[in-house]
């Protein structure tokens, strides 16, 4: 039953007391469905949500799994059927565009694109249709022209942002090495999300008297050489923004940095689990859950154009203790608040 928001609203309202907004768990299949018998009339409402994952790496995999799990839990609680179609664009523009066209042709009720490039493609594909978007992990929706403002996105889309306070990342760098003079930056200039983060970081570095040394990449295969380039120039540390290209080769970057004795600070906890040293970045499971919750609100009939974009950055420090040991660093130096940190290996 496509675009029958009135009926879905009634079903969700009937189950509102049972609706849980704190789902957890994961789902890894490319196509999944969550269903429960609709209460009252004995009828079922079938709705299809298309999830477009930009590419495969741990951060985006984590988001996709969290979205599916949360949609399943909410569907069961509300007594509706939500069929999920998960497609992976593998970072290929033509494939991503084809997936978007397929979702539109199939008449899905809502699209959840994960990462800025996927969201940009989906936004173009739904022009002239009434299919809403609830995007996930778009660092700067305004800069990416996916929102008129964070408070009132406009159009037929809203979502979640994984914006990072780069000053907090720099606090970690200086906590470990107060004498840091050079910070290596590895990112893809073609990713709006990365370019925005780096631009936000520049004035912070200037204020601290730290020189930025860049080594940009266009494919995951270039990450190893970029790391070697920065290490050969003697940078004190390396910072990686929320960059899909680099994230796809994070383990390679981590290995090179450990060999060179250079700490790598990242913008996501998943990248720390892949070998980075530390971050105060986004928890992508929570981000995925929040995205799914917003998607359900839109299916209930809320207007995405008036739903503020949600930014999730709780500031929890995550440290890879295995990487810290390999670099001879005491992980306790990152306990800036005295409240501890999340330890991963």
Residue 251, pLDDT above cutoff 50: yes
Residue-wise pLDDT for 84-134, tens only, equals 999 999 999 999 999 999 999 999 999 999 999 999 999 999 999 999 999
Query: Token pair 């029958």 is at which residue?
Result: 4
Treating both helix axes as pointing N-terminal to C-terminal, what angle do 5-14 and 284-299 enclose, rounded to 10 degrees? 110
CB count in 10 Å sphere of residue 28: 10
Provide φ and ψ at 195, rounded to 5°: -60, -40
- Domains of the chain and CATH, by start: 5-162+284-311 (3.40.50.2300), 166-281+316-344 (3.40.50.2300)
Q: What angle do CA 146, 151, 154 make, to 5 degrees?
A: 45
Q: Do 250 and 275 touch, CB atoms closer than 8 A?
A: yes
Residue 11 vs residues 14, 46, 121, 216: alpha-carbon distances, Å:
5, 11, 32, 50
Residue 312, pLDDT above cutoff 90: no
Q: Do 53 and 64 touch, CB atoms closer than 8 A?
A: yes
Give 193 or 290, the one with higher predicted confidence.
290
Size of the chain in residues:
345
Residue-wise pLDDT for 268-301, tens only, equals 888 999 999 999 977 889 999 999 999 999 998 9
pTM of the shown model: 0.77
């Amino acid at each position: 039953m496509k675009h029958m928001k009135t009926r879905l609203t009634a079903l969700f309202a009937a189950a509102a007391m049972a609706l849980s907004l704190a789902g957890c768990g994961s789902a890894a299949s490319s196509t999944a469905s969550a269903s429960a018998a609709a209460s009252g009339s004995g009828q079922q409402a079938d709705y299809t949500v298309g999830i477009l994952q930009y590419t495969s790496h741990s951060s985006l995999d984590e988001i996709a799994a969290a979205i599916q799990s949360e949609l399943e839990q909410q569907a069961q609680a509300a007594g509706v059927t939500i069929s999920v179609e998960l497609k992976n664009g593998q970072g290929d523009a033509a494939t991503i565009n084809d997936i978007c066209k397929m979702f539109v042709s199939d008449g899905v009720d809502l699209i959840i694109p994960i990462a800025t490039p996927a969201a940009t493609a989906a936004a173009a594909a739904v022009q002239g249709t009434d299919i809403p978007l609830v995007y996930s992990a778009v660092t700067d929706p305004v800069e990416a022209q996916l929102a008129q403002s964070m408070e009132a996105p406009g159009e037929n889309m809203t979502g979640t942002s994984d914006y990072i306070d780069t000053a907090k990342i720099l606090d970690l760098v200086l906590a470990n090495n107060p004498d840091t003079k050079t910070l290596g930056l590895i990112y893809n200039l073609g990713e709006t999300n990365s370019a925005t983060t780096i631009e936000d970081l520049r004035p912070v570095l200037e204020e601290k008297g730290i020189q930025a040394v860049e080594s940009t990449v266009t494919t995951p295969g270039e990450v190893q050489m970029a790391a070697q380039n920065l290490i050969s120039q003697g940078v004190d540390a390396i910072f990686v923004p929320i960059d899909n290209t680099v994230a796809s080769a994070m383990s390679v970057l981590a290995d090179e940095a450990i060999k060179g004795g250079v700490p790598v600070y990242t913008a996501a906890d998943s990248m720390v689990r892949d070998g980075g040293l530390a971050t105060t970045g986004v928890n992508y499971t929570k981000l995925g859950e929040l995205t799914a919750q917003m998607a359900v609100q839109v299916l209930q009939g809320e207007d995405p154009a008036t739903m503020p974009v949600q930014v999730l950055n709780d500031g929890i420090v995550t440290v890879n203790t295995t990487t810290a040991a390999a670099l001879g660093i005491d992980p306790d130096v990152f306990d800036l608040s005295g409240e501890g940190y999340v330890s991963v290996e």
